[in-house]
Structure 1
């Protein structure tokens, strides 16, 4: 369960899922290699509310969709940004709205630190040499890509050996599923977080924990495919597929609302945690079969 924090009015988490469509469903949703659909979901984890759901082409970039939501940012919001939605301009917009953010920093974004009259550029390998697994440091007076962005905090965290093994296992599984067509950077044990949360309110050791709340929406999106099989359907015409897709999404959003209520009740009454995946599987077994 998300614990309330006096500094944050809402905790917003955005994620997406996509899947290919059969060739006969043409002209409705397009992907990079034939028909494909992408579903964007923004979730507020303090009250378990779904803020935004959008269905569109699989070829649409996550960063562009994230930019379209900037006008909805409110003072006191905390936005947890995945790498797919990373944008320095977007982070600046959140800051200007009086809101907060935590984002992973892409490895191709330069990190510079002023040392006297010179600037030192930090590389991921530099952090590997100075951090032991599980250790965290904060860099002070830093510049990102040569520009000082509203004096951000940069927190560097090295994954534990167990976390590194888990990430490597997940990467290998995806690579096996998608074959040679799956091209991406192997997981790196160094995570660099950029945030505008004042140090007086949140210590550097809490930043990784706060960002880990993203896992809640990742589990929800995972259940859509692994439990509810949103990406599997019989052959049908495009208009019928749209009815099927939107009907399934309505059922999933209702299930998510019930899931949050179940978890909140159990925690409030018995101080016990119920996983999102377990709760959704119970709802599917008793309410949707």
Structure 2
């Protein structure tokens, strides 16, 4: 783990690790990093589309796949419903964005009750300060940690993804 931490400066060189917070969460930016062989870890915005390849897509009679059935949209909130507090789920080969251009790992952790309460209080306070509307979907997404990364799980585990991201 320490050897990974030594390379976590804000470099943009081959095989570096970039920690991108939500302010930098742009699909094009992450695609550029990926094409340059720069590893990244980023939180996922609540409004980001997430897809996986459909293992059984519908096909036309001639055998070609129907475009509308090629991918399945992932609902993170439904995905974590069955998880216990503090439990993590990891999905590989997830496509990010409406055009499904960025393939990555998705790591989602359901927060503990204590962390949920802290996050909700902070969210409510920020909504009040900024005079915003608090939506149910925002509250639900606020109860999880969701990350994407292009680093394989044999290099950085799901738990290490959270640890590394929290250092930014």
How high is the TM-score relative to the length of structure 1? 0.46
176, 190, 209: which one pairs with 2:163?
209
Pair 1:169–1:76, CA change in 2 (3 A): same
Aligned to 2:7: 9
Q: Name the structure 2 match of 1:65.
A: none
Matched residue pairs, number? 150
Structure 2: stretches of 5+ with no match in the other structure: 58-68
**Cα distance change on mapping 1:173 and 1:6 into 2, 3 Å:** closer
CA deviation after TM superposition for structure 1 residue 188, in Å: 1.7
Relative contact order, higher structure (CA 8 A, sep 6+): 2
- Contact 1:7 1:76 (C-alpha < 8 Å) held by counterparts: no
Which structure 1 segments of 5+ residues have no match?
A: 13-71, 215-289
| Higher-helix-fraction structure | 1
* 1:169 matches 2:115: no
The residue that corresponds to 1:79 in the other structure is: 18
Q: Deviations over 1:118-137 (max 9, x none)?
A: 43211133123222211111
1:123 and 2:75 correspond: yes
Q: CA deviation at 1:173?
A: 3.0
Distance 1:141 1:122 in 2: 12
- Which residues in structure 2 correspond to 1:139-154 (within 5 Å)? 139-145=91-97, 146-149=99-102, 151-154=103-106
**Alpha-carbon distance between aligned partners in 1 of 2:144 and 2:158, rounded to the nearest angstrom:** 15
Contact 1:82-1:103 within 8 A present in 2 as well = yes
Choose from 144, 153, 165 the match for 1:190: 144
Distance in structure 2 (CA, Å) of the matches to 1:196 and 1:7: 17
Q: Deviations over 1:55-79 (max 9, x none)?
A: xxxxxxxxxxxxxxxxx61223222
